[in-house]
Amino acid sequence: MRRVFVKITIFMMFLSGIFMHELFDISWENFRVVQPLHIICSILIMFFFLNSFIYRHIRRYFFIKKINSVEGWLLLLAFVLVVFSGLYLFFVGNRGGDMFGTISFNIHLFGSLVLAALFLWHIIKAKRQNAQPLALLVVILFSYPSVSYSKITELSLLEIEKKTGVYHSEDWTSSAKCKSCHSEIFEQWSNSNHKHMAGSNPYYMVMETLAGEVEGQEFRKWCMSCHNPSALSLGHPKTTHAMDGNFISNEHFEKGAKTLLNDFKEHGNFRVEEGVSCITCHQITEAKSKGNASFTLSLEREKYLFEDSKSDLGRWFSEKLINANPKVHKESYSKELYKESRYCASCHDEFHPQNGIKIVSTFEEWEKSPFNNPKDKTKHKNCIDCHMTYMKDDKFAPLRGTSTEGGVIKDDVKVHYFAGSNHFLAGLRDKEHEEQTLQLLRTSAKLDVAIKDGVLEVGVKNVGAGHHLPTGVADFRELWLEVEVKDKDGRVVFSSGKLGNDGNIEEGSRLFQKVFGDENSKPVGLLFWRYKTLLSDTRIPAGERRVEKFELDKEALYPLQASVKLNFRIYPQWVTDAVRKVFPVLLDPNVIELTSVQKEFK
């Protein structure tokens, strides 16, 4: 009986190994069963075949009968190599960047074929073929329901691809699971504004709440579709604050996603992760450049066996299965679509869900810019070329390294700081994040200064941003000129762009921004979604230069010393003051000097 068991196990081990080969291209549902079956059979063979049969076989024929078979020793060598390469693949893995992982994979693959050939040769030569029939029939029936798409709300274009007809928090795999193999990427993301897009962002929480109170609670879904798609897909009516036990967690000062990691340790995937998670971006199967969450998410990704296990052992075993053969995992989480700008445009363009008026046009701005030049690769830059490339000394410095522990060395690892404009909130958690954003901002513009006929002319050119400067919800961004001119005695003869005692920019300053108005041409203030008329738009398109003129006192005594700064603040003081009424611990965003010029005129 034992011999029959060993033979069946050997047969299953070889058969399962053969079926995993790319040549057979078996479906994922079959593969995820065959892979652990192969591992289990291999372990059984090690205990039952290696320790008993091989030992007795060598003892009987080599030591007792004194038969020295070359092919027999080659067979043993091949078996040992296959066993140890298999152990390496299981316990260490083959993630692409480990030379031993690649060698082990090839030894295991080709060594198995050599082992089978030697085994057959050894039996035939010894004339000990075992003619005992071995019949094994495995019938696996799989049914694949048709794929359907569920639109979450009429207030956005977000769709969830589904096969089962239902989805729940367990489908939104926690980003905490990704940390074990992608620790550096996780650390970058954990302190980024993408992670802190919902409950841990005080500005967002105030705006969503305000939208619900003014327009009706259903209107929150328009905000949630990009800021909190997981909660929206599960039917949650609003974004909630993260909890630390029975207390609200003050996450906007928290570093390293501590609350998320604790939640996952205690609750697994049961407690839904809010914000823009790993799954949110890496399970998008289609994206359009329309904005308002015009993307399709798949919650039916191909999972390895035990991947959803709630036990530490199950998760450990699942990680070993992934590392041993990560191809499907990689394909599941990375698509060519993710390199295209429309992928980002699905949320970074924005229109009113009811009247269709465009509120944010970042993608459209890029489309019309000189940065969108696919015919000239030296000039073409898409979103990730700027916003996911590492910065050093205010220059793009592609980061050489790996995105996975033990993975392939890449010349340009796409970092997950998501440098953009909001240096402030990211900087509360991590100064490296803030510095990456500040470096990117400092590449955006150049200044030039001249005096002609008693008029100070300041040129501001958008040299680095592939869209208008500023972009996004540009009525909530402050980019302005701070100008000071002194005469030969050091007296200030002209000043503009200073901050008042209340923190607001003084009246008459030159700002580069959009100002939204309602149907009566009155500024909408915080209620930006009520935008009907554009009161002004002084932003600077990509590659263009804007000249601002300041009339000086004709009696000013030369030489004149002109000091011009291009300043940036992520939120106006009046917006921060409004948010601080709800979040008293909120600090004031600091004013950033993007560039400056000092010049003497004689």
| Model pLDDT for residues 431-443, shown as the tens digit of each residue | 999 999 999 999 9
Residue 423 resides in a domain: no
Residue 45 resides in a domain: yes
Farthest CA pair distance, the chain: 118
Task: Give residue 69's pLDDT.
Answer: 77
59-88: burial string, b at 16+ Cβ within 10 Å, e else: eeeeeeeeeeeeebeebbebbebbbebbeb
Answer whether residue 465 shows pLDDT above 50. yes
Check whether residue 404 and residue 463 sit in a common domain. Answer: no
Task: Give residue 397's pLDDT.
Answer: 97
Task: Give residue 166's pLDDT.
Answer: 54
537-547 pLDDT, tens digit each: 999 999 999 99
Q: Which residues contact 1 (CB under 8 A, 6 or more apart)?
A: none
Specify the higher pLDDT residue, 1 or 204.
204
Question: What is the average per-residue pLDDT within 108-125?
Answer: 74
Question: What is the average per-residue pLDDT within 501-505?
Answer: 96
Q: Could you tell me the pLDDT band of residue 305, with boundaries at 50, 70 and 90?
A: confident
Check whether residue 478 and residue 538 sit in a common domain. Answer: yes
Check whether residue 98 and residue 165 sit in a common domain. Answer: no
Check whether residue 275 and residue 207 sit in a common domain. Answer: yes
Q: What is the 3-state secondary structure (H, E, C) of 90-133?
A: HHCCCCECCHHHHHHHHHHHHHHHHHHHHHHHHHHHCCCCCCCC
Answer whether residue 517 shows pLDDT above 70. yes
Specify the higher pLDDT residue, 472 or 203.
203
**What is the C-alpha to C-alpha distance for residues 449 and 545, in angstroms, rounded to an integer?**
12
Looking at 394, 413, 432, the residue that finishes a domain is: 413
Q: What is the 3-state secondary structure (H, E, C) of 140-177?
A: CCCCCCCCEEEECCCCCCCEEEECCCCCCHHHCCCHHH
Phi, psi for 503 (deg, rounded to 5): 90, -10
Minimal CA–CA distance to 196: which of 131, 136, 273?
273
Check whether residue 404 and residue 453 sit in a common domain. Answer: no
Check whether residue 46 and residue 95 sit in a common domain. Answer: yes
Domain that holds residue 510: 444-601
Task: Give residue 149's pLDDT.
Answer: 47
Bridge partners of residue 410, in order along the sequence: 401
Residue 9 resides in a domain: yes
Q: Could you tell me the pLDDT band of residue 412, with boundaries at 50, 70 and 90?
A: very high
Task: Give residue 135's pLDDT.
Answer: 31
Residue 318 resides in a domain: no
Residue 429 resides in a domain: no
Specify the higher pLDDT residue, 218 or 1.
218
Question: What is the average per-residue pLDDT within 467-493?
Answer: 94
**What is the C-alpha to C-alpha distance for residues 580 and 47, in angstroms, rounded to an integer?**
66
Task: Give residue 92's pLDDT.
Answer: 81
Check whether residue 507 and residue 375 sit in a common domain. Answer: no
Residue 398 resides in a domain: yes
Check whether residue 388 and residue 277 sit in a common domain. Answer: yes
Question: What is the average per-residue pLDDT within 169-194?
Answer: 92
Work out how many domains the chain is built from and give that number.
3
Minimal CA–CA distance to 13: which of 102, 101, 100, 116?
116
Question: What is the average per-residue pLDDT within 216-226?
Answer: 94
Average predicted confidence (pLDDT) for the chain: 86
Check whether residue 264 and residue 359 sit in a common domain. Answer: yes
Check whether residue 505 and residue 370 sit in a common domain. Answer: no
Residue 142 resides in a domain: no
Q: Could you tell me the pLDDT band of residue 56, with boundaries at 50, 70 and 90?
A: confident
Specify the higher pLDDT residue, 166 or 428.
428
Question: What is the average per-residue pLDDT within 260-269?
Answer: 86
- Contact between 16 and 38 under an 8 Å Cβ cutoff? The reply is yes
Answer whether residue 15 shows pLDDT above 70. yes
Residue 438 resides in a domain: no
Check whether residue 483 and residue 557 sit in a common domain. Answer: yes
Q: Could you tell me the pLDDT band of residue 44, with boundaries at 50, 70 and 90?
A: confident
Answer whether residue 119 shows pLDDT above 80. no
* CA 504 to the chain's CA centroid: 35
**What is the C-alpha to C-alpha distance for residues 302 and 26, in angstroms, rounded to an integer?**
13
Specify the higher pLDDT residue, 440 or 312.
440
Specify the higher pLDDT residue, 244 or 323.
323
Specify the higher pLDDT residue, 192 or 313.
192
In percent, the amount of the chain with pLDDT more than 70 equals 87
**What is the C-alpha to C-alpha distance for residues 474 and 467, in angstroms, rounded to an integer?**
12
Task: Give residue 327's pLDDT.
Answer: 87
Q: Could you tell me the pLDDT band of residue 160, with boundaries at 50, 70 and 90?
A: confident
**What is the C-alpha to C-alpha distance for residues 76 and 46, in angstroms, rounded to an integer?**
13
Out of 123-137, 281-295, 428-442, least confident range: 123-137
569-582 pLDDT, tens digit each: 999 999 999 999 99
Check whether residue 449 and residue 346 sit in a common domain. Answer: no
Question: What is the average per-residue pLDDT within 333-351?
Answer: 93
Answer whether residue 207 shows pLDDT above 90. yes
Task: Give residue 138's pLDDT.
Answer: 31
Task: Give residue 2's pLDDT.
Answer: 62
